[in-house]
A and B are shown apart, each in its own frame.
Chain A
């Protein structure tokens, strides 16, 4: 059981310069994420959706409210919440396998066990034959696959992804979505995925959480009922299109608000 509970959580950043007004990134929000849920958080850039993820990850502290995972209050980062960042955060001095084993080594796991687990995840993200490669020798898409494998190898209770495919080209991004969805369908993990891409948000999610422009708050929560396993062809189905049209409207209003 992994249940993420966000209650009345808000975040205000102090002003950069003296006497500068503080920035309210997030209005008090509440959100419940159930076991094995795959939620996507959709919003225009600068709406505070990444801030929410960083709060759950424990990389920021909420100004008000509290976040609990399985009833335990989140204080600081920890191995029970795996994170995949938008920027490429593989350790450049470690090869693919060593990157994936980073958290396992921290736990003091035996080498044979580390090898077994990393083998499994290397296969799952389709990087067999690249074990000895260094991050700089990999494409952006491959690096993010390693990052996903590195987070999953730690067996976290929840996987947090902050626009992980944002810097990839469109074709690669679509393939990565299918890969991640495939992993989720098999592994059954709780996932929170931040994105500004509407297709991406609908295709993978069991629920889309729509954010308003800054200061961020939850504007709508929309269930996505497509059955699993999902095939990429559902993206052209009328139901998908209808949902996309609806979300496009929701987001458009916010994007306009954000631009002013």
Chain B
């Protein structure tokens, strides 16, 4: 292995799949050998069968749909405000000075700690779920975008001014296109963050969603259902991540040139 030398595409796929195999083998060994009792850890096969059953007979598709809609809803709400605010904070330093200390403080407030409060304020309906996602994503996203925009290359900004750009011209034609690939990447990462918050929100006070199914299963000691639910979250997250990556690569092909 040479330092920092990329692997070939075929090898990368083989290596990536290999770890999944190692993982499932280890899991099979632990559950099948009886090293961990069956009611604490279901076997991979059992999990697969229960997973199929969840979708086929127990309406799990609806749960997954609800969870996706909550994550995307809360995330979009956060992005719609965080992106313009972050850009404004990045280019106008007084605006940054005004908001940044509070946003930095709020970023450390764990979104899940708001859940009891939010149940009191807005009940256990959809508004509560969306708000949790919003709190979890918004502050993080705002700070990331502020940092990205602050990092705009000064020499490009100066070049634009000498080519006759006004301030708004510089924002529109230099700051935004320059920051766009990194902003898209930040959105991708924060969407992943949204997934961790939604399950917590659904574990407490929900009547649908993947998290709700998981709590229900816990009461029944149905570890196969719990694991199947977790795997589905992983898969949906992975798919949304890949889709995001694809779109970014397509939109910002210039930023991938070496």
Contact = CB atoms under 8 A, between A and B. Distances in A.
B178 interface: yes
B155 A78 contact: no
Contacts of B164: 78-79, 103, 106-107, 154
B173 A102 contact: yes
Interface in A114-164: 134, 136-137, 150-151, 154
Contacts of A107: 164
Interface residues of B, number: 22
A78 B156 CA distance: 15
Interface in B149-184: 153, 155-156, 158-165, 169, 173-174, 177-178, 180
A59 B257 contact: no
Contact of A92 (B163, B165, B169, B254): B254
Interface string B34-69: 000000000000000000000000000000000000
Contact of B155 (A85, A93, A106): A85
Nearest to B163: A103
Q: What is the interface of chain B mostly: helix, strand, loop, or mixed?
A: helix
Given A103-B164, A106-B164, A136-B258, A77 B158 contact: yes
Given A92-B255, A93-B177, A93-B178, A85 B158 contact: yes
Nearest to B258: A136
Contacts of A23: none
Contacts of B158: 57, 59, 77, 83, 85, 89
Contact of B162 (A77, A93, A134, A136): A77
Given A83-B162, A89-B156, A134-B254, A106 B174 contact: no
A87 B165 CA distance: 19
A137 B155 contact: no
Interface string A51-62: 000000111000
A91 interface: yes
A137 B257 contact: yes
B257 A89 contact: no
Contacts of A76: 161
Contacts of A102: 160, 163, 173
A78 B254 CA distance: 28
Interface in B128-158: 153, 155-156, 158
Interface string B16-34: 0000000000000000000
A86 to B, nearest CB: 9
A82 B254 contact: no
Contacts of B180: 93
Contacts of B252: 93
User: Which of B153, B156, B162, B169 has the most CB atoms of chain A within a 10 A radius of its CB?
Assistant: B162
Contact of B257 (A82, A134, A151, A154): A134
Given A85-B155, A136-B258, A91 B162 contact: no
Contacts of A11: none
Nearest to A160: B162
A97 interface: no
A57 B160 contact: no
A59 B161 contact: yes
A136 B159 CA distance: 17
Nearest to B176: A93
Contacts of B178: 91-93
B162 A81 contact: yes
A154 B155 contact: no
Interface in A28-83: 57-59, 76-79, 81-83
Interface of A: 57-59, 76-79, 81-83, 85, 87, 89, 91-93, 102-103, 106-107, 134, 136-137, 150-151, 154
12 contacts: A58-B161, A59-B162, A83-B162, A85-B159, A87-B155, A89-B159, A92-B178, A92-B257, A106-B164, A106-B173, A134-B257, A151-B163
Q: Which 5 A-B pairs have the closest CB atoms?
A: A79-B164, A103-B163, A77-B161, A136-B257, A89-B159
